[in-house]
Amino acid sequence: MGDRLLQAEGVLEWRFGAYRLQPTSTPSFATENLRPEPPASTPDLKVATFNAHNWFTTLSGTFTPPGCSVSHQPRGATSTQEFERQKDKLVAALQALDADVVALQEVQNNGSEAIEALVAALNQAMGQGTYAYVADPAGGLGCDAIKVALIYKPARVEPVGPSLALASDVFERYPLAQTFRDKATGGVFTAVSVHFKSKGGCDPSDPDTGQGCWNLRRTAQAQALRDWVEGTLKAADPDVLILGDFNAYEAEDPLVLLRNGGLNAVTTGHYTYVFRGLTGALDHAYATPSLTAQVRGSLVWHINADEPRVLDYTTAFKTDDRYQPDPYRSSDHDPLLVYLELSAAPGGSNACATTGVPVVINEFRFRGPNGGNDEFIELFNRSCSPVSIAGWKVQGLSTTGTWGDRLTLANVTLAPGQYYLLANTASGGYSLSVTPDQTYNTGIADNRAVRLLDAQGQVVDLVGFASSGQYEGTGLPDGPTSGVTTQISWKRIPSGRDTDNNAQDFQFGENWANPQNRQSPFYGDN
């Protein structure tokens, strides 16, 4: 697409409903749409969306998505040769795109098999551990043949809490959400991968009235998505980025609804797809207002839409096979890339808090791989001023519902953004490598509560599980009481977040315990 025909000579004929020129000599073209270079390296967090064009590991027969009763025929590659060719092109494209988080569409809905194969191929090319994938939520992502997915670079971001799906009958392919924390800045955002109903295959109940088939359904999907963002996702963190194949152009009803509903288009006036010689954008990124302020740019990398099909991975009907294991025509959609500079505080506000309590229990656990004494409590000065914690106390709730002292804090003043680590060093105790600032030797029972008192005995902060009856707002869902084999913890994301509601302020994670002490960087990784 985009080259200009300067001169041609031949026989003009009518065939298959159109005039065609059969050249009798080599036509003359002017190249006016040069292939763009890969996106430049940047310290910003790079988040992309990429339609993988039916990435399937099942090459023949039928398959049934997990938890579903309907079977599907595979799409995409039809032979081992085509599979390898498709894989090489996708890897070349994703490697050059080099995004920290990628929202994918058109991945085979066969559990982890297809997405795991793609990540394994990426890691073979880029180094083991370069990418990981977000596991499907319990219940899966619908019963369609394809699904959405998210992959990410563990060196740059870490997942916060479990993945979520918008499991609604209005979707063929459930949207997938995952909150991530940027290890470079401490900022947190939620990525949502979406794939709306296509424009093909009209039904009398939802005909093409000028915006393609199924416009009513896509509009209903947009409404459900917008409600999910407002009612569920923003409660965890206000910074939400929705990316994917919306199968809708900018002026069509579904995207107008999203914009009218308070979401901002990150990129406008772009194109990602070519249909019958006409360019248009089916792939988009939308951000909540708080995240929009942290967007530093975006681009579409035109490696697919402008390229001829003869370059793709397929082998059928190719008397002149122009395939190369490069990014060009790795899909039929162009990838879209968003650059973020995330703040360490929700919504891009200042890192220190001007209101609320000055010091909070920021990360903790009452059990770890070593057993019930493998616990720690991390404190954090969230205020904008130094705070003396001399004479403050930490108390734990017993199984009988009584509070008891665990330790009295030393004569220490915490600067804004500074941490203070307490750990149980009794037998079978603290198992992490970060050195605690103070220790204690009487543990806190599973699924109970911990509170922080100032020198006058006033409760500064309280964190508890629902079954303990002691908590702020809503208690945390109960955690494991035995068999812990990973470095679990509950932590505020980002550090210092305090809405006086434990269930909203804390996230649970496995293999992510990362307590900080007084020597750790202020506002550092948590």
Q: Is residue 525 part of a domain?
A: no
pLDDT of 419 strictly over 50: yes
Tell me what pLDDT residue 351 has.
56
The pLDDT tens digits of the residues spanning 200-245 come to 999 999 999 999 999 999 999 999 999 999 999 987 778 999 999 9
pLDDT of 186 strictly over 90: no
Tell me what pLDDT residue 137 has.
95
Shared domain check, 336 and 319? yes
Shared domain check, 432 and 296? no
- Percent of the chain exceeding pLDDT 70 equals 98
Number of domains in the chain: 3
Q: Is residue 515 part of a domain?
A: no
Strands (E), 75-203: 101-108, 132-133, 146-152, 157-165, 176-182, 188-195
The candidate with the shortest Cα–Cα distance to 430, out of 364, 490, 478, is 364
Shared domain check, 449 and 300? no
Q: Is residue 171 part of a domain?
A: yes
Q: How confident is the model at residue 371 (pLDDT cuts 50, 70, 90)?
A: very high
What amino acid is encoded at 304 in this protein? N
Shared domain check, 296 and 181? yes
Shared domain check, 229 and 109? yes
Shared domain check, 194 and 156? yes
The pLDDT tens digits of the residues spanning 385-404 come to 889 999 999 999 999 999 99
Q: Is residue 407 part of a domain?
A: yes
Tell me what pLDDT residue 55 has.
98
pLDDT of 347 strictly over 70: no
What CATH code is carried by the domain that includes residue 406? 2.60.40.1260
* Separation in Å, CA 327 to CA 258, 264, 313: 32, 30, 11
Q: Is residue 514 part of a domain?
A: no
Tell me what pLDDT residue 261 has.
95
Average pLDDT over residues 137-153: 97
Shared domain check, 422 and 319? no
Shared domain check, 104 and 219? yes
Tell me what pLDDT residue 183 has.
87
The pLDDT tens digits of the residues spanning 77-128 come to 999 999 999 999 999 999 999 999 999 999 999 999 999 999 999 999 999 9
End-of-domain residue from the set 302, 320, 343: 343
What CATH code is carried by the domain that includes residue 79? 3.60.10.10
Tell me what pLDDT residue 161 has.
80
pLDDT of 348 strictly over 50: no
Domain span including residue 377: 352-509
Contact present, 44 and 14 (Cβ < 8 Å):
no
d(CA 515, CA 395): 19
240 contact partners, CB below 8 Å, separation of at least 6: 189, 190, 192, 229, 233, 234, 287, 288, 291
Q: Is residue 526 part of a domain?
A: no
The pLDDT tens digits of the residues spanning 484-525 come to 999 999 999 888 999 999 999 999 998 899 999 998 877 776
Shared domain check, 178 and 272? yes
Shared domain check, 16 and 99? no
User: 494: cis peptide before it, omega within 30°?
Assistant: yes
pLDDT of 354 strictly over 70: yes
pLDDT of 466 strictly over 60: yes
What amino acid is encoded at 157 in this protein? V
Shared domain check, 148 and 93? yes
Tell me what pLDDT residue 345 has.
56
The pLDDT tens digits of the residues spanning 243-264 come to 999 999 999 999 999 999 999 9
- Cα 228 vs. chain centroid, distance in angstroms? 15
Least reliable range by pLDDT among 1-15, 91-105, 133-147? 1-15
Tell me what pLDDT residue 396 has.
97
Q: How confident is the model at residue 349 (pLDDT cuts 50, 70, 90)?
A: very low
Q: Is residue 496 part of a domain?
A: yes
Q: Is residue 260 part of a domain?
A: yes
Tell me what pLDDT residue 1 has.
66
The pLDDT tens digits of the residues spanning 265-323 come to 999 999 999 998 889 999 999 999 999 999 999 999 999 999 999 999 999 999 899 99
d(CA 122, CA 118): 6
**C-alpha dihedral, 443 to 446 to 451 to 452, nearest 10°:** 40
Tell me what pLDDT residue 525 has.
67
The pLDDT tens digits of the residues spanning 426-456 come to 998 999 999 999 999 999 999 999 999 999 9
Shared domain check, 442 and 310? no
